[in-house]
Amino acid sequence: MSHLQAVRIQHEVGEEYLAGLMELFGSAWWMAGRTVEETRLILRESDLLVVLIDSACDTVVGFARALTDYAHVALVLDVVVAPESRGSGYGALLVDTVVQKLSQVRSIELVCQPELVPFYSRWGFTNQVGNSRLMRRTSDPALVPRQLSP
């Protein structure tokens, strides 16, 4: 059995997996400061959750979510794989599952770091978005670029 066959896909996170999800969130710079209360709210209010559970050890090894109207637009967020499982195909399984679940949506969008553009392009994502620009209003200092000293 391949390692991908040993992974169970779920669309919810039970309390028994919350600590593991928090550990997974802690491995990603943009999620590291999230609290359990914020995470419960995220889980409750997201339209689509994709959770990968390693069946052998019953732990969370991957997560993604989306906000969507299921017709015109979806925003994919928080795609993350446990550090020790990166390069295993779990990221591709997450994105495959998300794209399949959102196949009827006209535009699926996401934000990623430049080095991940080739990864996401396999599903037809492009950074060629015309004159559109990402804009942000945030109180999270981790999401504000550091100013370089002169």
Give the DSSP per-residue string, 32-59.
TT--HHHHHHHHHH-SEEEEEEETTTTE
Is pLDDT larger for residue 41 or for residue 140? 41
Q: pTM of the entire structure? A: 0.89
The residue ranking higher by pLDDT, 19 or 141, is 19
How far, rounded to the nearest angstrom, does the alpha carbon of residue 81 sit from its chain's CA centroid? 8
50-108 pLDDT per residue, tens: 999 999 999 999 999 999 999 999 999 999 999 999 999 999 999 999 999 999 999 99
Compute the distance between CA of residue 6 and CA of residue 70 in angstroms, rounded to an integer.
30
Q: Is the pLDDT of residue 3 over 70?
A: no
* Of 32-36, 109-113, 136-140, minimum mean pLDDT range: 136-140
SS3 123: coil
